[in-house]
């Protein structure tokens, strides 16, 4: 017997927030059928009207921005600064793709004996499965381009962080999106998420989460040759060369590793430092890590909040057993809340679990390297390939290393990786396909070729 409700806990206070109803299999089927029926009308809405409705949806998100941000602070423990950025990102992504319906061009291809044209046809119902780490942005990266391309969407938020997704669904309806076009279905991964994979009316699954579940989803989708996009884990390298502005690199490193308490698939959780600069870099890094203010996420000056759950804290703590090679560590508040201090490890061996596995918490390892080739070799010595950073003042080296690292999103002298106007996704076991950017609609449509004889 599966539970039909879930009690949401504020991770910063451990206080009960509210009870959310979880959809059963039968309810999920009913909602998927409604989305399939809505597809028949949504696909026929004119491009300009679809664009207009998406712009209204973005405006509704904008008007509700503070409320959405505060909801995320309570549900996920995100700092208020981050949560405002996340709600703004959802708005911007919807706005960006509101321009797409009128610009989703096909081609006219020269052929003998007639006219040949291509069309981008929507797929049907798209199922979006969202994790708990960035509930609003990751939801919007899936539903906005899917809707723009003429699909309808069923979206399952993570069981523990459904509140902002539910609110986004309400805002879509208030903005005038027809019933069944964007349906939020709170529920369990094993019930609602799996049904997206097995239900024949769901023509594509967009999944963000663990590599382990991503593999199951991909295998399940193979059964129906169902389209799938996967955004999975990471173990990204922050490569610091001796010629870099070490002060700037050290000041930025905590942000690259500890933003969202390290619960970020793009976290630069391995800092690789050129041997000749290793000691001076660590000297500069220590005060930067100690300056990360951990605490009440509603306080505007807080830099890092709690972890999402007691379970996640236990998982993270497992990477820092007693006797772990701690170089230095920050502080956390006393009392309730799922706190874990910003932690820098300096392990002797590449076989240390903390060097190889995704931690998804505020724990970073620092590893020395000999030269450029060694840096690229270590950066690529992982099954993952999501993002990474390169700190150097040598532009030639920056480009060589950026081309050499097997990852989808690299930044030079910064840690930025996700912009809605540029493609995002992973190499190797970090994922399959790309989200965001100018080409996202291609992942939510099929190309149809039509030949018309003269």
**Interface with ligand NAP (CB under 6 A):** 129-133, 156, 158-159, 188-190, 193-194, 208-210, 213, 216-217, 231-233, 265, 315, 358, 360
Spell out the SS3 assignment of 306-346: CCCCHHHHHHHHCCCCCCCCEEEECCCCCCCCCCCCCEEEC
Residue of 231, 274, 358, 435 with catalytic role? 231
Tell me how far, at minimum, the Cβ of 432 lies from ligand NAP, in Å.
12
Of the pair 272, 359, the CB lying nearest ligand NAP is at 359
Of the pair 235, 397, the CB lying nearest ligand NAP is at 235
Of the pair 86, 194, the CB lying nearest ligand NAP is at 194
Residue of 221, 265, 274, 435 with catalytic role? 265
Tokens of 30: 């009913």
Tell me how far, at minimum, the Cβ of 132 lies from ligand NAP, in Å.
5
Tokens of 289: 């890590």
For 193, which DSSP code? I
Of the pair 264, 296, the CB lying nearest ligand NAP is at 264
Please count the other Cβ atoms lying within 10 Å of the Cβ belonging to residue 18: 12
Of the pair 23, 285, the CB lying nearest ligand NAP is at 23
Tokens of 216: 């199951």
Greatest alpha-carbon pair distance for the chain in Å reads 79
Please count the other Cβ atoms lying within 10 Å of the Cβ belonging to residue 286: 14
Tell me how far, at minimum, the Cβ of 130 lies from ligand NAP, in Å.
6
Of the pair 132, 338, the CB lying nearest ligand NAP is at 132
Tell me how far, at minimum, the Cβ of 22 lies from ligand NAP, in Å.
9
Torsion angle defined by CA atoms of residues 73, 74, 76 and 78, in that order, rounded to the nearest 10 degrees:
20
C-alpha span between 422 and 417 (Å, rounded): 9
Residues in CB range of 31: below 8 A, 6 or more apart: 23, 154, 183, 185
- Whether 231 is a known active-site residue: answer yes
C-alpha span between 227 and 126 (Å, rounded): 9
Sign of CA dihedral 168, 171, 176, 180: positive
Catalytic residues: 231, 265
């Amino acid at each position: 017997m599966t539970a039909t409700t879930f009690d949401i806990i504020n991770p910063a206070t451990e206080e009960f927030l509210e009870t959310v109803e979880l959809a059963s299999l039968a309810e999920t089927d009913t909602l998927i059928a409604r989305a399939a029926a809505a597809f028949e009308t949504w696909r026929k809405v004119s491009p300009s009207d679809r664009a207009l409705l998406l712009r209204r949806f973005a405006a509704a998100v904008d008007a509700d921005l503070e409320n959405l941000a505060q909801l995320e602070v309570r549900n996920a423990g995100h700092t208020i600064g981050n949560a405002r950025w996340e709600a703004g990102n959802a708005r911007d992504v919807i706005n960006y793709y509101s321009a797409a319906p009128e610009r989703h061009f096909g081609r006219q291809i020269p052929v003998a004996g007639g006219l040949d044209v291509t069309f981008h046809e929507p797929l049907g119902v798209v199922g979006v499965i969202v994790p708990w780490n960035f509930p609003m942005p990751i939801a919007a990266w899936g539903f906005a381009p899917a809707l723009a391309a003429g699909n309808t969407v069923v979206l399952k938020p993570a069981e523990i962080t459904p509140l902002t997704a539910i609110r986004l669904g309400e805002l879509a309806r208030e903005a005038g999106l027809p019933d069944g076009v964007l349906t939020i279905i709170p529920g369990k991964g094993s019930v609602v998420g799996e049904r997206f994979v097995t239900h024949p009316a769901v023509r594509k699954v967009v999944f963000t989460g663990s590599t382990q579940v991503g593999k199951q989803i991909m295998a399940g989708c193979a059964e129906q040759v169902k389209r799938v996009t996967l955004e999975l884990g990471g173990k990204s390298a922050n490569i610091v060369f001796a010629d870099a502005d070490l002060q700037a690199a050290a000041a930025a490193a905590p942000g690259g590793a500890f933003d969202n308490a390290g619960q970020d698939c793009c976290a630069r959780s391995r800092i690789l430092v050129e041997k000749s600069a290793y000691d001076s870099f660590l000297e500069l890094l220590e005060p930067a890590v100690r300056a990360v203010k951990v605490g009440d996420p509603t306080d505007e000056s807080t830099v890092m909040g709690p972890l999402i759950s007691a379970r996640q804290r236990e998982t993270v703590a497992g990477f820092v057993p007693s006797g772990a090679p701690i170089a230095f560590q920050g502080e956390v508040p006393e009392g309730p809340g799922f706190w874990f201090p910003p932690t820098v490890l300096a392990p002797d061996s590449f076989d240390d679990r903390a060097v190889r596995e995704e931690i998804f918490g505020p724990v970073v390892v620092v590893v020395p390297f000999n030269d450029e080739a060694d840096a690229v070799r270590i950066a690529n010595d992982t099954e993952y390939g999501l993002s990474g950073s390169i700190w150097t003042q040598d532009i030639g080296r920056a480009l060589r290393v950026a081309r050499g690292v097997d990852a989808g999103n690299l930044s030079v002298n910064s840690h930025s990786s996700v912009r809605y106007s540029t493609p995002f996704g992973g190499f190797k076991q970090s994922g399959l396909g790309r989200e965001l950017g100018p080409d996202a609609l291609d992942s939510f449509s099929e190309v149809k070729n039509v030949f018309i004889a003269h």
